[in-house]
Structure 1
Amino acid sequence: MFSAAAAVRPFALALFQGEADPPPRSRRLSLGLPRRLAALLPVRRIALVQAADVMTAWVLFGTTFSQLADWNNGALPRVWDGCIFLSAVAVSAPVALRDRWPLAAWRVALVLLPVPVHVTAALDGSDAPYTPGMVVTYLLVIYSVAVRCDRRIALAVWLITVLGLWIADRGSAPLGAVITGVAVLFGYNVRVRRNATARLLLEERRSRQAESAQAVLEERARIARELHDVVAHHMSVIAIQAEAVPLKAAGDPAQLEAGLAEIRSLSLEAIAELRQVLGVLRDQDGRTDTAPQPGLDRVGELVANARAAGLSVLVEQPEPVAGVPPAIGLSAYRIVQESLSNAMRHAPGATVSVGISRESGAVRLRVVNGPGSSPGGPPGAGQGLAGMRERAALLGGELEAAGVEGGGFQVTARLPIEETA
């Protein structure tokens, strides 16, 4: 529905209330001043666009003043010299203002340019009372408005311009409307492209930030998985050993000392693995722990620890699994480690079968435990199973974990290996 207020609003913005966007700033379009000169001036860098506008305004002032003064010397009657000076100011001042205040520069031009138009008409007597300086000034100013102001304001400025051209000289008004319209369209096109570029840069920045945040979350999840596997396994073994050693020793100092030595060995092993996991954190000298991560070649250590904790572990490995990439070996090691830890916590004294094989371009794991000989600990939060599934998924593999008949539990995993030609 047509609204008179909505129709008048763009003209009110153009003439009185509207404001332009801030000027784009780039260090490539500015020039740093020498230190000695910068110490004497309130600015340290000069904007090249503003400097060019000031120089252009100075040239327009000089050419307009000289041209009108020459015409005035041969005219009868003569025009007051103050009008010549004011005309030169009217032509040059909007150009000096257009970069910082484009809409204010257009308003100044709208108010002051009738003076040089009247003076030119009185001295030249031509049909079109416009000098080249006036044309250049107005085109620069109206272009700046189209680049830095809303399209409604730019359209209102162009319509007011057409009206002013028709009042000043009806004969040249159509051509002036076309020329100023081209300037407005060109400026609006530049504005659209600038806004699109700014939005694209903003989206790219947001995308980079999102990717960085995602990378941080993935790294935190990786470190959390490693810490969980290391701490859960070793602490479970140490806790069981600490409970079992006094019972086995039965007051025998030699057996007690041997049991404590084993607990100490497990503690040192846990500390060593924690140092490897946290090797990404550098010390003040920039050093990191570059020791190799555990792989399938160290599964025997896990089995020995589990047996020492009271589990009966049977390893089913037809042949040594060699040539496995470090990432696959580490994940397989952690899956076996977490499976044995769960068996120790929830099925103490159970019989566990660990199967490791390589077939069809993949490493296959199968860890099955029967019911424990004594009640196990309370159910956990499920972080261990979630971590095992994440490890398998990150490598493009699969992992299944479920209970079996008779009260046991089974973990099966398939970790694919990319074959190299």
Structure 2
Amino acid sequence: MSQSTTFSNDPSLLFPPTAYPPRRKSEILKDWLFEKIHGNKLVYNTCWEDPRCDRAMLSIDKDSEIVMITSAGDNALDYLLDQPESVHCIDVNPRQNALLDLKLAAYTSLSWPVFFKIFGEGCLPDFAAVYTLHLRPRLQTASQQYWDRQQHYFQPGRKREGLYFHGSSGLFAWLAGRFMALDGQLRKDIDDLLESRTMEEQQIRYRRLEPRLLSRLLGSRSRQKVSLSMVGVPLSQRQFIEEESGGLRNYVRDAFRHIFLELPIHENYFYRLYLKGRYSKDCCPGYLKEENFELLKSRTKCIRPHTTTVADFLKKNPKAYSHFVLLDHQDWLAANAPAALAEEWRLILANSRPGTRILLRSATSRPETVPDFVRQRTRFRNDLSNVQAKLDRVGTYAGTFLLEVIK
């Protein structure tokens, strides 16, 4: 799933509904591995939501004031292409904000070729010197403390080479790649799939490799639990997946068929990254494209990272914001912190205005995490979300929901 799935995994990020009982001790023990993996780590080295779909649903303009969960910061940067007035990036994990802070520092101090080496390819041979001279002086203190210890992420020639094989989701990508490489023909077929240039060619290639890909990628149920924990999917979302699709294999199979049989893979930078460990210049997020570099460089001050919860941010920074982008963290909160959800929803509504749009995603196709009192003041914009869900290049969410405040 996605960040924080973006902090779908952190108990201190507040949100709630009503129909979910508190976790039993047995459930807490089952989620021990998840909490062990994510306790003090960078979880997401890239965003796992499609900003092209987001921007189509949100209609961002120069008057927009956005509150969103940071994740890896990629989508916040993509939103800047629509030139909003401000983007407040909220995350309870300071490491996620440290990654965004590093990207902001790189915009203000580096050329595009060096910027792309670091965040497009994930490696730079002289990263230590560039970091010391150009990046570190522009970082917040907490970010300095983090990157002082993690510069090896960007060093080439290591066993796990590059940013995108680090962090817990990056470790999963690296392990999955190593495991799939044991089957040389499967690795070749995956590479061929990524180079497909017509939908017919892509469909033929995917159908040929699907059984082997799913078998290698998913394995046993115990391995599936480890894999899901590494990519930021907590127990509560795993339960949604079981209910929604009858198991992870069915869920992933259906998602992959949407991605690989219905959408062109040559522009799908999400899967290229996790299968290759790097972007290419013609298949990468908008924030990495050379033609966008100068515009984004001029607008980085519009992004303001905050290491806190959504609720606490709104208490300290009351305002009528135009957009909230919540990713999928309500899935965790629905099952684990129901007492907190009402407070955050009330704060969101209190800091909205007529027309404010609220975007969230879920492992379930039903918007059960939206309380009744929120529904009374909003309307679901299914006319927008249903269309964009079909175009979403990630395709791993069963539900994409867009609410619009009406009063």
Asked whether the two chains share a fold, i.e. TM above 0.5, the reply is no
More helix as a share of residues: 1
Pick the structure with greater CA Rg.
1
TM-score (norm 1): 0.21
